[in-house]
Structure 1
Amino acid sequence: MRHALRLVALLAVLIAPAPAFAHPHVFAEARLDVMLEGENVRSLRHLWRFDDLFSSTVILEFDKNGDNVLDPEEMAEVSKVIYDSIGDFDYFQFVTVDGKEIKMAPPDDLKALYQDGQLIIMYESMPQDILPLKGTMQFGVYDPTFYTAIDFVEDANMAVKDLPSRCTTSVVRPDPDEAIAQNQGSLTEAFFNDPNGNDLSKLFATKFQFDCKDTQ
């Protein structure tokens, strides 16, 4: 890959200009908090903690003064690169209501930290339009290129507070074999060789689901 400012290609750029194949090269543990404002979804708060290998590679790339520490200016550059990178992919997030995709506004900014040997990024995004709690709502994170595996290790890492009693929550973890079997026609050889440009990897993403009864 040649897009040096794309998170999905960053590790490949750092080690060798090679194409991405349909399996992850970068791993991150995630947390997602759905923030409410009354009967509406106000925002999604994301936190990703990257694996040690990728995190150490980021230091090698961005530590311009060679002190093996990312100072505030260097950390700001990491934040900018990641912000610009994942912007091409709707910030790796998705929201649906009864299967219909909901547009999210770009976050105002993205903050990167380096803590205990791991790169951490945090950002908050809001729906473009008012998003009421209704129907079956799903929230999740995925990399459409399959280059980055973003995993919610525990169900508790997908959370919401003060959800109305008419809504219930569940964490949906698709079975990969079942997802492949149900979508065999779409998961072509071309997809597995080069998944760029499609969102079929969403099939395998963990989803935070709300089921909300009508108020009327």
Structure 2
Amino acid sequence: MGMRALFGLLLAVALSLASGAARAHPHVWITVTSEILYAADGSITGVRHAWIFDRAFSTNAVQVLYAKTDGAYSSEELAPLAQAQIESLKEKAYFTFVKVNGKLPFAEPIDCSFDYQNDQLTLHFTLPLKTPVKSKTVLLEIVDRSFFVDFEFAKDNPVKLVGAPAGCEVKLGPAMGNDRDRKMVQDASEDSFNEGGANVAVGLLFDNIASVYCR
């Protein structure tokens, strides 16, 4: 199957979920675990993600590729889907922003793969920085401003430091929105999310932010 066809399948999955969700936002839910990567000299080199997709999206995504009775999918079987997903994320800057005195640009993603367990897809990929940078502070932000995708940090150890110098620690959030706000947004009419509407950037209420401070 060609990459363009896979893009179409991914879009079809998202749209089918949208039409079946009473025209509500969001349409895809992703639980985020991330690692901020450091080199031996203490410079930040990139971010490694593991994103768990909700069961509805996951089930639809694998079924458009393979009809299997045992529900088991190898990384090799899922490789085309993983590549298509990564390509579709590119135009959204992977919903990932690393900031040290401004946003830092990423090189092309590496180590991209899907695994499928407990009826859920987990997307693994690494975003290397184009140029590693040394800084005592860094901010990692994961957000979809449109809230088509609801990103939420995992409950346990959502952001880890790999190879960081001694004396570095991570602090999370807080997000401006809470569970009540999330419910209000989910109950809102889809029309209120049209481009240019008042809620076009409502996803910022549920911004996932991790700040790293090094002594």
**C-alpha displacement of 1:73:** 5.7
Is 1:46 aligned to residue 42 of structure 2? no
Range with greater deviation from structure 2 (105-114 or 31-40)? 105-114
- Which digits, 9 at most, give the CA deviation of each residue in 1:90-137, with x for residues without a partner? 112111124x11111120352011112111110011111121123x42
2:146/2:193 contact within 8 Å kept: no
Map of 2:58 onto structure 1: 55
Q: 1:86 aligns with which of 66, 79, 89?
A: 89
- How many equivalent pairs are there? 196
- SS for the counterpart of 2:151 is strand
Distance in 2 between residues matched to 1:46 and 1:96, nearest whole Å: 17
Map of 2:34 onto structure 1: 32
- SS for the counterpart of 1:62 is coil
Distance in 1 between residues matched to 2:8 and 2:206, nearest whole Å: 22
1:89/1:144 contact within 8 Å kept: no
TM-score (norm 2): 0.74
Is 1:207 aligned to residue 209 of structure 2? yes
Residues 1-216 of structure 1 aligned to structure 2 (within 5 Å): 5=7, 9-14=11-16, 23-37=25-39, 38-63=41-66, 66-68=67-69, 69=71, 70=73, 74-98=77-101, 100-134=102-136, 136-154=137-155, 156-165=157-166, 167-176=168-177, 192-194=192-194, 201-202=203-204, 204-212=206-214
2:146/2:202 contact within 8 Å kept: no
- Supply the RMSD in Å over aligned alpha carbons: 3.5
Map of 1:184 onto structure 2: none
Distance in 2 between residues matched to 1:8 and 1:202, nearest whole Å: 24
- Which digits, 9 at most, give the CA deviation of each residue in 1:186-214, with x for residues without a partner? xxxxx952259x7663453111101345x
- Which digits, 9 at most, give the CA deviation of each residue in 1:15-55, with x for residues without a partner? 5779xx78211112111011111221122110011111111
TM-score (norm 1): 0.74
With over 3 angstroms needed to count, the CA separation of the structure-2 counterparts of 1:47 and 1:72, relative to structure 1, is closer
Q: Point out where structure 2 has 5 or more consecutive residues left out of the alignment.
A: 182-190
- Which digits, 9 at most, give the CA deviation of each residue in 1:135-178, with x for residues without a partner? x421132224311112113251111145334544211121227x
Identity of matched residues, %:
22
1:4/1:10 contact within 8 Å kept: no
Code of the residue aligned with 1:106 in structure 2: it is E
With over 3 angstroms needed to count, the CA separation of the structure-2 counterparts of 1:79 and 1:168, relative to structure 1, is closer
2:14/2:57 contact within 8 Å kept: no
Distance in 2 between residues matched to 1:126 and 1:157, nearest whole Å: 19
**C-alpha displacement of 1:10:** 4.7
- Which digits, 9 at most, give the CA deviation of each residue in 1:47-92, with x for residues without a partner? 01111111111122111xx324445664122112201100111112
- SS for the counterpart of 2:98 is strand
